[in-house]
Amino acid sequence: MENKTRLASLDVLRGLDMFLLLAIGPVVQTFVWTAGSCAPDLLRRQVEHVQWEGFALWDIIMPLFMFMSGAAIPFSMSRYKRGEKPGKEFYLKLLRRFALLFFIGWIVQGNLLAFDFRTFHPFANTLQAIAVGYVASALIFVHSGKKGQIAWTLMLFLAYIAAFAATGMNLDPQSNVAMLVDKGVLGAHRDGVIFAPDGTWTYDCGYQYTWILSSLNFAVTVMLGCFAGQIMKGGDGMAVPRKALLLLLTGSGLIAAGLLMSPFFPIIKKIWSSSMTLFSGGICFVLMAGVYYAVDVRGWTRGLEWAKYYGMNSITAYFIGETVVFTSVSASLLHGTEQWLGIYYPVLLSAANAVILFMLLRTMYRAGIFLKI
């Protein structure tokens, strides 16, 4: 699965996504929480997940991360389209990637290091959603032609809709079919479970995310990225600017399709609804078109190398950003400013934490250290 021809725009867009998650988001969120009612409502809404129906800027981070994992597949696995047969090594690498992503996800969100089986959450993290979608998409890409890939993607997409249609399109946050599957399979190990001192447990009704049945559309999101990658990778003679235009038109069509579907199956990220899959996938295509055109068509790379610090070590950036707290370091250096900043002192600490992570990733990039799974 070597990547012989690395597309710069993939690293840049992935890096921008991680920068939003790990730098911009935390600083703005800290400001919003600190400022309270004084913070602009529009700003507040964009750095929080929508409660149920709808879509905000913060909701695009996970779909884009998954989309980008799919966009890399045609580049990293191109040799299997040139006649090489996938052998034992291919399947072992897929299994290894799947296992490592799940394991890292357990550390990040599964409470693995608590060594308390009651609080272990086996499927509750973005990395695990990527693992499922990536493996499914890689197998579809390697073993199917273009028509087969489209057919498999449609089957996954329609299967999810069929599951909801069979239950009367019930969209109650706690009793929809995706939630019932999670509760039935994961039980006390579903994220969002509250344990009492006597060992009994109850579901937290505030937790509305679903994972198992939603994996059907996780795979669709990664496959949409795979289709985008094939457009950019394609050697069909299409001019590069026309590839950017095709990405843009495809994205616009998916956004329109998602909006048209939303009255019947609303845009709900927490259950990865079908309209949300189309809508977010369309946004990912449009963003990919813009960055692809700017970076790989026009060569506008000046001032964008920093995005590669995140993009070329995205899993590392995500893991460190989600698990390591640099506040003690930041506070040791900046504690003297608290008297001047007052209640906004945590905003400075949040910004300093982001800078520390940035410098760590920059050092790794400059040293040529890229941790891959």
3-state helix, strand, coil in the chain (%, to 5): 70, 0, 30
Confidence band for 235, pLDDT divided at 50, 70 and 90: low
Contact 192, 203 (CB under 8 A): yes
pLDDT tens digits, one per residue of 301-353: 888 999 999 999 999 999 999 888 898 899 899 988 988 888 999 999 999 99
Say which DSSP state 201 is in: E
Quick one: average pLDDT of 354-364? 96
> So what's the pLDDT on residue 349?
93
Confidence band for 240, pLDDT divided at 50, 70 and 90: confident
**Burial class, 79, CB count within 10 angstroms (exposed 0-12 / middle 13-18 / buried 19+):** middle
Rounded Cα gap, residues 148 and 140, in angstroms? 8
Q: How far, in Å, are 123, 302, 312, 362 from residue 106 at the CA level?
A: 8, 38, 22, 26
* Token digits of residue 307: 């995005």
* Token digits of residue 30: 């800290």
Rounded Cα gap, residues 81 and 209, in angstroms? 37
Predicted structure pTM score: 0.92
pLDDT tens digits, one per residue of 96-134: 999 999 999 998 876 777 777 778 889 999 999 999 999
b/e map 153-190, b = 16+ CB within 10 Å = beebbeebbeebeeeeeebebeebbbbebbbeebebbb
CA angle at 75 for the pair 70 and 80, rounded to the nearest 5°:
100
Indicate the average pLDDT of the chain: 92
Contact 87, 77 (CB under 8 A): no
pLDDT tens digits, one per residue of 62-107: 999 999 999 999 999 989 988 889 999 999 999 999 999 999 999 8
Contacts of 196 (CB under 8 A, 6+ apart): 202
> So what's the pLDDT on residue 243?
94
- Neighbouring-strand partners of residue 201: 195
Confidence band for 200, pLDDT divided at 50, 70 and 90: confident
Give the lowest-confidence range in 110-119, 133-142, 146-155, 253-262. Answer: 110-119
> So what's the pLDDT on residue 5?
56
Rounded Cα gap, residues 344 and 30, in angstroms? 9
How many whole angstroms from its chain centre is CA 293?
22
Residue 1 pLDDT > 50, yes or no? no
Neighbours of 30 (CB within 10 A): 20
Residue 143 pLDDT > 80, yes or no? yes
Helix (H, G, I), strand (E, B) or coil at 178: helix
Confidence band for 4, pLDDT divided at 50, 70 and 90: very low
**Burial class, 123, CB count within 10 angstroms (exposed 0-12 / middle 13-18 / buried 19+):** buried
Residue 51 pLDDT > 70, yes or no? yes
Domain boundaries, the chain: 8-366
CA angle at 56 for the pair 167 and 19, rounded to the nearest 5°:
125
